[in-house]
């Protein structure tokens, strides 16, 4: 009697079983990461004093360059309106008729590098001088107005290029109706030079303190590895991989970096709140509305990412260096 051969299972079923196993392995992998994620947080919560001390050191190191960056951005408000302060004053020839002065105003307004022109007549100039100088009664004794007509020119220039205004000044001096042209942008050049130095100084300070954060995190992780040396040896004896051993230390560095960044944000916010009142009071004495700006969302996100990245990098370097020295035997 002929026996039928068993029909082999089709290959697509094997493929489907393999495909169905991939989401399972991924789910298990993510579950292990989640377990280690909360396990390391629980371990740190058991030693809150030690954890807060380390996170505070990281927070202070992150707060210094970030705080200086915020103050520097606030200081840019002073130079943001430098084109208003670098206005060109054109003193016209004495005796220039009013219609000629206004015709010159219209000509200058059509200039592509001039944004606005204001005309101050001799009568207006004398009235303003009387109001500001305090010599009102003495000026009333004058038989004629000694002040010329003035044109106040606001140029259209790039904020970082005050030399363009100087070139425009040389062009306006050539006008026969202009007796004297004045421009003072030396303080603007000095301000930009000082801000460039401060900006570079912030970068240098941030680099040095980032190195300090790496050393702090690396030393903390090194101590944690030494305290768990016997546990690491046992894990290696039963076949644990370096990736499995490295994982909790990386998450520990993650938490240190995150907590340090949050402490840095808190320190900067409190410092700006304390300084905002005296700074606004000082600016008011100079008839200025300057005020310190706080941390915006972009700066806060960069601060958090920087703290977490430094924590991860510091722990990765420490684990990679010291884990090789621990071998069973």
Q: Give tens-digit pLDDT for 153-194.
A: 888 755 445 667 777 888 888 888 888 888 766 666 777 788
Tens digits of per-residue pLDDT, 79-110?
Answer: 555 545 567 888 888 878 888 888 888 888 88
Residue 207: per-residue pLDDT: 94
Dihedrals phi, psi of 155, to nearest 5 degrees: -80, 160
Q: Residue 102: left (phi > 0), alpha (psi -120 to 50), or beta?
A: alpha
Tens digits of per-residue pLDDT, 69-85?
Answer: 888 887 776 655 554 55
Closest listed residue to residue 252, CA positions, set 221, 230, 225: 221
Cα 172 to Cα 260: distance, rounded to the nearest angstrom: 57
- 260 touches 52 (CB < 8 A): no
Name the band, by pLDDT with cuts 50, 70 and 90, for residue 2.
very low
Q: Does domain 88-182 have CATH number 3.30.70.3040?
A: yes
Strands 88-92 and 178-182: antiparallel
Q: Where in the chain is the domain with CATH 3.30.70.3040?
A: 88-182
251 has a pLDDT exceeding 90:
yes
What mean pLDDT do residues 199-225 have?
Answer: 92
Cα 222 to Cα 224: distance, rounded to the nearest angstrom: 5
- 64 touches 205 (CB < 8 A): yes
Q: Fill in the DSSP letter of residue 147.
A: P
pTM metric for this prediction: 0.67
Dihedrals phi, psi of 7, to nearest 5 degrees: -85, 120
Name the band, by pLDDT with cuts 50, 70 and 90, for residue 133.
low
H helix count then E strand count, the chain: 11, 4
Residue with the two structure tokens 């009142």 = 277
Cα 198 to Cα 69: distance, rounded to the nearest angstrom: 9
Residue 266: per-residue pLDDT: 95
Tens digits of per-residue pLDDT, 257-277?
Answer: 999 999 999 999 999 899 888
Lookup: tokens for 24: 């399972």
Name the band, by pLDDT with cuts 50, 70 and 90, for residue 7.
very low
What mean pLDDT do residues 109-129 have?
Answer: 81
Cα 57 to Cα 65: distance, rounded to the nearest angstrom: 14
Q: What is the average pLDDT value for the chain, to the nearest integer?
A: 80
């Amino acid at each position: 009697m002929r026996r039928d051969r068993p029909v082999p299972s089709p290959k697509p079923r094997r493929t489907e079983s393999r495909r169905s196993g991939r989401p399972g392995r991924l789910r298990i992998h993510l579950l292990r990461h989640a377990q280690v994620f909360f396990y390391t947080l629980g371990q740190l919560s058991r030693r809150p004093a030690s954890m807060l001390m380390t996170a505070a050191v990281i927070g202070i190191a992150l707060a210094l360059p970030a705080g200086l960056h915020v103050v520097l951005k606030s200081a840019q408000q002073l130079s943001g309106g430098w084109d208003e302060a670098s206005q060109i004053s054109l003193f016209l020839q004495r005796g220039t008729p009013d219609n000629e002065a206004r015709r010159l105003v219209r000509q200058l307004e059509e200039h592509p590098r001039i944004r606005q022109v204001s005309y101050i007549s001799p009568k207006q100039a004398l009235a303003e001088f009387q109001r500001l100088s305090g010599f009102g009664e003495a000026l009333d004794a004058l038989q004629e107005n000694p002040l010329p007509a003035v044109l106040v020119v606001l140029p259209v220039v790039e904020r970082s290029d005050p030399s363009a205004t100087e070139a425009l000044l040389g062009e306006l001096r050539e006008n026969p109706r202009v007796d004297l042209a004045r421009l003072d942008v030396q303080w603007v050049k000095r301000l930009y030079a000082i801000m460039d130095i401060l900006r570079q100084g912030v970068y240098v300070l941030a680099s040095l303190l980032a190195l300090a954060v790496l050393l702090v995190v690396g030393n903390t992780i090194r101590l944690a590895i030494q305290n768990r040396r016997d546990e690491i040896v046992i894990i290696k004896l039963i076949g644990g991989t370096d990736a499995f051993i490295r994982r909790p230390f990386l998450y520990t560095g993650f938490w240190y970096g995150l907590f340090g960044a949050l402490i840095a944000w808190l320190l900067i916010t409190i410092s700006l709140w304390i300084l905002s009142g005296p700074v606004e009071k000082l600016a008011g004495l100079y008839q200025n509305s300057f005020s310190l700006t706080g941390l915006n969302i972009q700066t806060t996100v960069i601060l958090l990412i920087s703290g977490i990245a430094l924590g991860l990098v510091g722990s990765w370097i420490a684990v990679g260096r010291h884990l090789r020295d621990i071998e069973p035997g």
